[in-house]
Amino acid sequence: MHKLFILFSLISTSAFAQLNMIETKEMRLVTYDFGHKYVLPHAGRCYHNALQFHRKLFDYTPSEKITVLIQDFGDYGNGGATAVPKNAISMGLSPFSYTFETSPAGERVFSMMNHELVHVVALDNSTSTDRFFHKIFLGKVSPTKENPLTAVYSYLTSPRRYSPRWYHEGIASYVETWMSGGVGLAMGSYDEMVFRTRVLQNAHIYTAQGLESEGTTTDFQGKTNSYLYGTRFMGYLSYQHGPDKIIEWVKRRDGSRRSYSAQFKHVFGQSLNNEWKNWISFEKKWQHENVERIKEFPTTATQPITTKKIGSVSYPHYNRARNVVYVAVNYPGQAPHLAALHLADGRLERLADIKGAALFYVSSVTYDAQAEKLYFTTDNDAWRDLNSYDIKTGKVTRLQKDFRTGDLTFNKTDKSIWGIKHLNGFSTIVRIPESTEQQAPAYSQWQQRYTLPYGHDIFDIDISPDGKLLSAAVSDYRGNQSLLLFNTDSLMVNKAVIDTIFNFEVSSPQSFRFTDDGKYLFGSSYYSGVSNIFRVDVATKEIIPMSNAATGLFRPLQISNEKLFAFNFTADGFQPVYIANAPVGEVSSIEYLGTKTIEKFPALKEWEIPIATADQIDMESLIIKEGQYRSGRQIKMNSAYPILTGYKNFIGLGYTFNFGDPLNFREFEISASYTPRNWINRLASESDTTNLVMDDQEQLHLSVSGKIGRYTFSAHYNPASFYDLFGPTKVSRRGATARVDYTRSLLWDMPRKLDLVLGAGAFYGLQKSPYFQQIDTEGFTDSLFLNVDASLIYSNLRGSLGAVDAEKGFRWMFRTLSAHSNGKTYATLIGSYDIGIQLPVNHFSVWFRTAAGNSLSEEFNPFTRFGFAAFGNNYIDYQAARRYRNIFSFPGLSFEADKFIIAQSFAKGMVEFVLPPIRFRQLGGLNLYSNWMQLTAFSSALITRENDFGNNRFVNVGSQLDMKIVIFSLLESTFSIGYANAFDLDDNNKRYSEWMISLKLLK
């Protein structure tokens, strides 16, 4: 769900001037592209059909109209939903990724609408108490880190939002499965395999809290574990207690408990933790029984090539001469990369990083053995790029950007690459020729060969050695999946001449590839419920099982007549193994928990709803308005709530009003507060005497801020902050400021990003530097300063699976600021450059951070000097926990020290070691736990120049320990403790010490 916010912010950044909207009494359906129009009536019907079902199942009445955005921002289908502050759904049109059958096939708009609406129901359904708080706060409150009390208000207005992801995804996937007649994760073969493997290999099955704290972060399956565990737990509850019980658990109506865990106890009569344990016991028994079924016939022996589990894997490619398999891998601790697996000794050689790796297929990789080049995709979760890797030189070249094509395969006969392009929700077979008539660079163009009708997804293609046949798996609306052969000559004239080898029905034919002689296709399928290897005789279409796996075997390659290469599924990821290249006699099947549940509770069949056709739901009659979605006109008040503020050393009270449109393209906030003179903050330090005094005109505080597309604006009068109540760092200032910023991304190729920020501001009545609290600027309270500034900020930061911070990459920034006052101009320049290197130990990196700045003015005023001091964290804080990385932080030299550094120019360097995090599987309870702790150590050197305050040369050394804490499943906070010593090199290495302790609230 959090992705929804990212998505909306991206759309907002790109500032669509026009979005088209269809409105009914219950829905706003928004899109932006002509290419999506074909699906709008269908999406509208799916929405109304699903909503009608959910109203009945969950006794749900929407608190407001739900806004649905149809988009095509990714090459694979995705969805997101929220109900805070407004009900909204985002739905990506692309086909799902069927890798390893981690997603079910079927009609995706139908299944996504069923799924996402469950999220809205679970979040938006309310009791009379919730609705009372809606009235008090004039809506549902979204928590903001600037005002942490909003977390409390948010819990009062939308309590079920504060439930773990596995709970939300579990119920949504479970209900979706039965709404689709059994197509979904509750009947998932991959899901059965995951738990069977964990039981078989005696691997840890996470507790409910351990899943959140460790399972979704260190495991190679990442956040997919929320879906796996959540759906499985719901499946167990349904099987044991009946499906009505889980619905009762999720329903929010009068008499229900606010917290998801309390409601669990209310419905099931025992604690969630206890029942989770019961599930684990049940699961072990269930899976042991399935293993026994598998063992009815001899299981296939696997010969590991390496003991290393390499997480997720792409399709492998074999170089016989070198006895090497090329494969893309993604496992916790190291950035995803192309690798050469040396079959002789099992050594995994890193070749090149893969930007934007997919969680399961990592990258679509194909291989030109003759040219010794690998072709692979990057940005796999967005719009994919095509790249080449030259094995001889190690050079990576990007061939096509955003070509949105994967499932690559190489045609040896004409050296063309073939693939599947996803656009507007359609799959198109494309050919990427090596050369063209226009003499374009190699593989820089693509050709449409055949576009499949909507609802038919095609994947895992291969071209026969003679170039005559293209094999592929193709799915339909109902989730049936067949292995097909296309005639490539026909495809060259945009026609599909198809030969169906076999309809595997709801089990997917995965990774079928031709052997070198073209006689056979080897691939895998969960046909028996377990992923086994199959061999297809291309001439006769005879299919023969080649394995009887206990866990699951995938992506086979024929190495010789005696052995096959394959990936064996383990609890820690895929392991490269050999198996015998010989047919097996018989293979038995396993049982599915879902099947047993529907046999036990046939009422689940009544959950099935049809894909509504135009005859069943007449969209024309439902539409009340068609036109454009104008975010400005859609702006309404989201919520209003009281705030607590700190101003200097005083405490104040006020109110904030928050406005926005449903898709959050535009939002603004107005705050007003008042600080009584006698409300003294006893926690505040009295070392800064300016903070002890508050004039009459300083008692009122006003603030307006907002964003419209690329523009952000703010205006403050005597700005105050909640966090000024706690600790040495103060952002409250006397005076009035107004500022407008324009941000434009000159480069957006995530994680590579180059932003240009242009800003203009006005300051009046300043008592201090607006940026450096240690710089008092008496004599400027009657001066008006007009500022303009420009910044260029580039970042390319990466991390591996399970990373808690960036582990490699670099970042630079250049900023110039010009202040104007009384006819004079004061200019300053600042630049920084950081580079991080990943060390061989997993999650261990070293960073070098440098910065320099210069004020071009000798004259002293609020904008001509820089200040350096302290860690910078308050006791209670909301900004970055590792503030010691800021250019103007200097740990060791606290704000309380008798020495302060004010500079006209400076140069600074820092070396920082970021140690691997320590993960906690079980530290805390369901509603308050810690999931990791990480230690960093740093040392920096600073040289400054200032005529009046003197030049300085300082070094420091310090360390910080950060611990992530999660409250109510969603509210992440960071507890930090740090210590540093600073040494004044110009004063006999005089030592200054500083302790820092801080709790950073919210993300």
665 binds another protein (CB under 8 A): no
User: H/E element holding 419?
Assistant: strand 416-423
Pair 564, 302: CB distance under 8 Å? no
**CA dihedral sign of residues 414, 417, 422, 423:** negative
What residues have CB less than 8 Å from 460, skipping those under 6 apart?
98, 407, 472, 473, 509, 510, 511, 512, 523
Q: Given candidates 3, 5, 10, 856, which one binds another protein under the rule CB under 8 A? A: 10
Per-residue DSSP letter, 723: G
Q: What minimum distance in Å lies between the beta carbon of 503 and another protein?
A: 4
Q: 529 — alpha (psi -120 to 50), left (phi > 0) or beta?
A: left
Pair 410, 463: CB distance under 8 Å? yes
**C-alpha–C-alpha distance, residues 811 and 300, integer Å:** 50
602 binds another protein (CB under 8 A): no
User: H/E element holding 10?
Assistant: helix 2-14
Which structure tokens are listed for 793? 């900020």
Candidate segments 60-68, 634-642, 745-753, 854-862, binder of another protein by CB under 8 A: 745-753
DSSP string, 65-120: PEEEEEE--SSS--EEEE-SSS-EEEEE-SPPP-GGG-S--S-HHHHHHHHHHHHH
Nearer to another protein, 499 or 896 (CB): 499
749 binds another protein (CB under 8 A): yes
713 binds another protein (CB under 8 A): no
Q: What minimum distance in Å lies between the beta carbon of 528 and another protein?
A: 5
**C-alpha–C-alpha distance, residues 298 and 762, integer Å:** 79
Q: What minimum distance in Å lies between the beta carbon of 82 and another protein?
A: 22
Q: Given candidates 605, 990, 991, 1003, which one binds another protein under the rule CB under 8 A? A: 605
Pair 590, 192: CB distance under 8 Å? yes
Q: Given candidates 220, 249, 514, 534, which one binds another protein under the rule CB under 8 A? A: 534
543 binds another protein (CB under 8 A): yes
587 binds another protein (CB under 8 A): yes
Closest CA to 530 of 584, 478, 460: 584
**Mask for 565-584, x = binds another protein (CB under 8 A):** -------------------x
3-class secondary-structure state, position 1000:
strand
Nearer to another protein, 34 or 135 (CB): 34
3-class secondary-structure state, position 745:
strand
Q: Given candidates 15, 203, 603, 637, which one binds another protein under the rule CB under 8 A? A: 15
Which structure tokens are listed for 46? 């799916």
User: How many CA atoms does the CB half-sphere of 250 hold within 13 Å?
Assistant: 30
Nearer to another protein, 274 or 448 (CB): 448
Give residues 471-510 in contact with another protein (rule: CB under 8 A): 474, 476-480, 482, 484, 493-496, 498, 500-503, 505-507
6 binds another protein (CB under 8 A): no
Nearer to another protein, 73 or 913 (CB): 73
Nearer to another protein, 618 or 695 (CB): 618
**Mask for 104-143, x = binds another protein (CB under 8 A):** ---x--x---------------------------------
Give residues 165-204 in contact with another protein (rule: CB under 8 A): 180-183, 187, 189
663 binds another protein (CB under 8 A): no
The site for another protein, by CB under 8 A, has a size of: 109
For 952, list phi and psi in degrees, rounded to 5. Answer: -140, 150
Q: What minimum distance in Å lies between the beta carbon of 527 and another protein?
A: 6
**Mask for 408-447, x = binds another protein (CB under 8 A):** -------------x-xx-x-x-x-------x------xxx
User: How many CA atoms does the CB half-sphere of 516 hold within 13 Å?
Assistant: 10
Which structure tokens are listed for 311? 């997480």
741 binds another protein (CB under 8 A): no
Q: What minimum distance in Å lies between the beta carbon of 524 and another protein?
A: 12
**C-alpha–C-alpha distance, residues 777 and 648, integer Å:** 16
Pair 235, 186: CB distance under 8 Å? yes
Nearer to another protein, 454 or 780 (CB): 454
Q: Strand pairing of 317-319 and 736-749?
A: unpaired
**Mask for 61-80, x = binds another protein (CB under 8 A):** ------------x-------
Q: What minimum distance in Å lies between the beta carbon of 290 and another protein?
A: 11
746 binds another protein (CB under 8 A): yes
Pair 113, 91: CB distance under 8 Å? yes
**Mask for 19-58, x = binds another protein (CB under 8 A):** x------------xxxx-xxxxxx--x-------------
Nearer to another protein, 491 or 557 (CB): 491
Nearer to another protein, 427 or 974 (CB): 427
585 binds another protein (CB under 8 A): yes
532 binds another protein (CB under 8 A): yes
Q: How far is CA 398 from the centre of its chain?
A: 24
16 binds another protein (CB under 8 A): yes
Q: What minimum distance in Å lies between the beta carbon of 597 and another protein?
A: 9
844 binds another protein (CB under 8 A): no
What residues have CB less than 8 Å from 615, skipping those under 6 apart?
none
Q: What minimum distance in Å lies between the beta carbon of 39 and another protein?
A: 6
Q: Given candidates 271, 278, 319, 745, which one binds another protein under the rule CB under 8 A? A: 745
E strands, 227-364, are 303-304, 312-313, 317-319, 324-330, 337-342, 348-353
Give residues 620-649 in contact with another protein (rule: CB under 8 A): 626-627
896 binds another protein (CB under 8 A): no
Per-residue DSSP letter, 177: H
Nearer to another protein, 193 or 775 (CB): 193
Q: Given candidates 149, 369, 382, 670, which one binds another protein under the rule CB under 8 A? A: 382
Q: Given candidates 509, 529, 802, 836, which one binds another protein under the rule CB under 8 A? A: 529
Closest CA to 921 of 29, 204, 165, 50: 204
Question: What are the distances in angstroms from CA 513 to CA 67, 302, 386, 518?
Answer: 43, 21, 21, 9
Pair 38, 454: CB distance under 8 Å? yes
